[in-house]
Structure 1
Amino acid sequence: MSPVDLTRVQREELQRELDRNRRWELRLPLYGGIALLVIAAIAVVRLVFFP
């Protein structure tokens, strides 16, 4: 057996890890949008209260 041949258990574990990572990747745009809103709020507060 060569080092690149995976057992069925290893393939299943690898697939589960890929599925978990894919779910996190789908959340990234939401987190990016939240981060932009926080930055915008900070900028507005600075402009309004600290001219």
Structure 2
Amino acid sequence: FIGNALVDLFLQSRNWPFGSAIAITLVLVSVVVLIAANRISTRVSGARRVDLI
């Protein structure tokens, strides 16, 4: 559904700036959800954090 809406914004409506803004927002929301899920799973599993540097 969201992918089809993005394609419509880019190709049919020719609204490139708004389509780009929606695509970047979608990517940022996905990254935030992945980071939150990673932190929650780390806390639940009780694993200790290891720094690479």
Question: TM-score if structure 2 supplies the norm length?
Answer: 0.52
Distance in 2, Cα, partners of 1:30 & 1:18: 19
Q: Output the aligned Cα RMSD.
A: 2.0
1:28 maps to 23
Bigger Cα Rg? 1
Structure 2, unaligned stretches of length 5 or more?
1-10, 47-53
- Out of 12, 16, 29, the residue aligned to residue 17 of structure 1 is 12
Stretches of 4+ aligned residues off by more than 6 angstroms: none
How far residue 25 of structure 1 moved from its aligned partner, in angstroms, is: 2.5
How far residue 18 of structure 1 moved from its aligned partner, in angstroms, is: 5.0
Question: TM-score if structure 1 supplies the norm length?
Answer: 0.54
Q: How many equivalent residue pairs?
A: 35
More helix by share: 1
Structure 1, unaligned stretches of length 5 or more?
1-15
